[in-house]
Amino acid sequence: MKTLKTTQELADFCRLAANFPYVTVDTEFLRERTYYSKLCLIQMAVPSEDEDSAVLVDPLADGLSLDPLYELFQNEDVVKVFHAARQDLEIFWVEAGIFPKPLFDTQVAAMVCGFGEQVGYETLVRKICKQGLDKTSRFTDWSRRPLSDAQKTYALADVTHLRQIYEYLAAELEKTGRSRWVAEELRVLTNPETYDIRPEEAWRRVKTRTNSGKFLAVVRELAKFREGYAQENNIPRNRVFKDDALIELASTKPRTHADLGGSRLLLREARKGPIADGILEAVKRGVNCPPDELPKVDNSRDKLKVNPALADLLRVLLKSKTESAGVAAKLIASSAELDRIAAGERDVPAMSGWRYEVFGEDALKLCEGKIALAAKGDMVKVVSL
């Protein structure tokens, strides 16, 4: 098991990888104690029987630069293959501002090829490679050195089996003509907005029991401060203060440091220093928010006039279409999106691209009374009217 610890070693392997049609990539990272993921290990493999065809890259090694890897990521003659790539891509986007291209995500491809929703790597190894995986090293501390042989073996398995999985799925997509389906899905993963966490929008993730604009204004300012402070200091947002403490602060609206001392849920570290100052300033901004700038909750979905019978028919149609197409239903439309279609909305993902071909077109016809559904044995048939 070769571990690359110098820039030259990495450059040599990336030069080798540039001669192959694809390279499989995975990462190990920690995020429990930081806001941004701490990259601890990179695994790479090329389609070869050579002993050094799969390697580990130690990004924590002194003096090692990942520039050769980023150059390979920009080489459009080599497909970069990941499984469930979102967190890996976020790391490389935050670190270097680049996305690997062209990109292939085996989890997305597997859903398109009928392996179910959010299929795990272990499942694909078992079903495609006909092997099992030793997961005992999954939750180890990847930042500690030296890495054990068990950790190295576990890590390499995440890219060696991935070669066979990629080749199988790529062949299936070519055979079924669904490669562009996967390409459509990957546009979201390679969109910088996917990873752009804006502090001013952080309040939307906080669950509250009230839609009062005045209350939400304080929630918004507290969430904005927390997100910005966490990003700037690279600590988890819950280390600043948790959601339950945020709601308490928005309710009590403390004005002084003494008021913060009376909080039941606020961490001790947050009752003094820059966090305490930030809380008091955020509360003040929220309380003094002008009426025309108060946040508004989007209640449009609650006001939808859903035809429940039509929504049920759409669910039956979706199940029938996805079963016959061999694609995960969740990839086409969620239950909430089906309700929106039944309420007359058309601005949903199922009404565009490949989803429209598989489901959206007939869903629209069903809503317009142009088709009906009929049972035939254990099958559901679409009947033109």
Per-residue model confidence (pLDDT) at position 135? 79
Per-residue model confidence (pLDDT) at position 211? 87
Q: How confident is the model at residue 379 (pLDDT cuts 50, 70, 90)?
A: confident
Kindly report the pTM of this predicted structure: 0.89
Q: Which amino acid is at 324?
A: S
Per the DSSP assignment, residues forming a β-bridge with 43 are 26, 56
**Residue 302 pLDDT more than 80?**
no
DSSP single-letter state for residue 301: T
* pLDDT tens string 305-339: 888 999 999 999 999 999 989 998 988 999 999 99
What is the average pLDDT score of the chain?
94
Distance CA(381)–CA(323), nearest Å, equals 12
**Residue 76 pLDDT more than 80?**
yes
Instruction: Sketch out the chain's domains with CATH numbers.
Output: 2-195 (3.30.420.10), 199-293 (1.10.150.80), 308-384 (1.10.150)
Distance CA(318)–CA(312), nearest Å, equals 10
* pLDDT tens string 226-262: 999 999 999 999 999 999 999 999 999 999 999 999 9
Distance CA(157)–CA(272), nearest Å, equals 47
Per-residue model confidence (pLDDT) at position 338? 95
Per the DSSP assignment, residues forming a β-bridge with 375 are 380
Contact predicate 92/67, CB 8 Å:
no
SS3 assignment, position 43: strand
Q: Which secondary structure element, helix H or strand E, spans residue 122, and what is its range?
A: helix 121-124
Q: Average pLDDT, stretch 104-122?
A: 93
CB-based burial label for 247 (10 Å; 0-12, 13-18, 19+): buried
> What's phi and psi for 383, nearest 5 deg?
-115, 125
